[in-house]
Amino acid sequence: MNIAIFGASGATGALLTERCLFVGYNVTTLLRTPEKFPLRDRVHVIQGSPFDLAFVRPTIEGADVVLSALGANSLKKEDVLERAVPQIVAAMQQTASQPKPVRRIIVLGSAGALPTSLDKQPAWRRWLVQNILYNTLLRWPVASQISQWNDLSHSNLDWTMVMPPMLTNGPAHGSCRIDGEALPRNGSRISRADVADFMMRQIDNPQWIKKGVYISW
């Protein structure tokens, strides 16, 4: 299987890349600075920016599945997803007339992407997360995730957006709670390793196509 990965140099993206290589997939990644990527000799590298269609297009060419772990690197207004996701969607849509169109994309999102994400939380927690985190501290990252949701949900692609709460760098637990409606009650964190494992399982799973799915410990 041929996999295109965006955001491979990030913490979650690197885990996705490792897992794809472990199961024997052919991996193509788009990297700004390939020399800094420790797995560069084991993948096909396109050097360039995810904000430029000229680099995004060859990254997805021939892919069976696109994986994206792109996202903000800080709490500042970076607009990474606002600029990159439209290019990825456009590049995939341009393959529609080809013998092998690229339709499947699985992206790392965030539990704050939808206004209904906190519906299953206790009232005190819902107020705290919405007002202290989503509306202030995480204002710009949340705005980027909302943008990603809008771009994907208005496309005709076979997309899945995986929406965890806070990510940790600890080991995988090997299991998680899954909900298609809202963040599981009192769900506050999950490891990047568990998220990467869940994203990998969606490659052959049609259950969450054209949907978002919340996961947490």
Domain boundaries in the chain?
A: 2-216
Cα separation, 42 vs 11, in Å, equals 17
The pair of structure tokens assigned to 27 is 């991996």
Report, in angstroms and rounded to the nearest whole number, the Rg of the chain calculated over CA atoms: 17
pLDDT tens-digit map of 163-186 = 999 999 999 999 999 999 999 999
Cα separation, 59 vs 30, in Å, equals 6
Q: How confident is the model at residue 72 (pLDDT cuts 50, 70, 90)?
A: confident
> How is domain 2-216 classified at the architecture level of CATH?
3-Layer(aba) Sandwich (3.40)
Q: How confident is the model at residue 214 (pLDDT cuts 50, 70, 90)?
A: very high
The pair of structure tokens assigned to 121 is 């939380």
Least Cα distance to 88 among 117, 46, 138 occurs for 46
Q: Is the pLDDT assigned to residue 94 strictly greater than 90?
A: yes
Q: What is the pTM of this model?
A: 0.96
In this prediction, residues 30-48 reach a mean pLDDT of 97
The pair of structure tokens assigned to 203 is 């490659």
Q: How confident is the model at residue 194 (pLDDT cuts 50, 70, 90)?
A: very high
